Amino acid sequence: MSYAIFRTGGKQFRAEKGATLRVPTIAADAGATVEFTDVLLGSDGTAVKTGAPVLKGAKVTAEIVKHGLGDKIVVFKFRRRKNYARKQGHRQPFTEVRINDVSLG
C-alpha cells in the first residue's frame, strides 16, 4: 500500500488513499480540492523514497470534508494564598480532509 508523509501547518501527517485526517485550518470551502506538495517521505509498497528535505514532484491530493473545532481544553492558572485564579477554555480549529491520491512523482 502506498503512503506519504507530508507537512502542513507545522505538523506532519501520514496519508494513505481513502484516509480521513484532521489538519490545521486551511482557508478553503468544504468540497474544494487541495494539494499538499511538501512531501517528506513516500512509499509505493516496495521501496521507500526520502526527500532532502522534500521529494521533488511528489504531491498528496485531498478533498476538504468539513471545518470544525476540536475538544475543549481548560487552561487554569492558580497561585496559592494570593487570591489569584484564572480559568480559560480553548477549542483548536481544524479542517478535515479525505485523501484522494498519493503521487510520488
Using one digit for the tens of pLDDT, what is the confidence trace for 46-67? 999 999 999 999 999 999 999 9
Domain-located, residue 10: yes
CB 88 within 8 A of CB 75: yes
pLDDT tens track for 71-104? 999 999 999 999 999 999 999 999 999 999 999 9
Domain-located, residue 74: no
Spatial distance between the Cα atoms of 1 and 62, rounded to a whole number of angstroms: 17
The total of structural domains in the chain comes to: 1
Domain around 32: 3-65+94-103
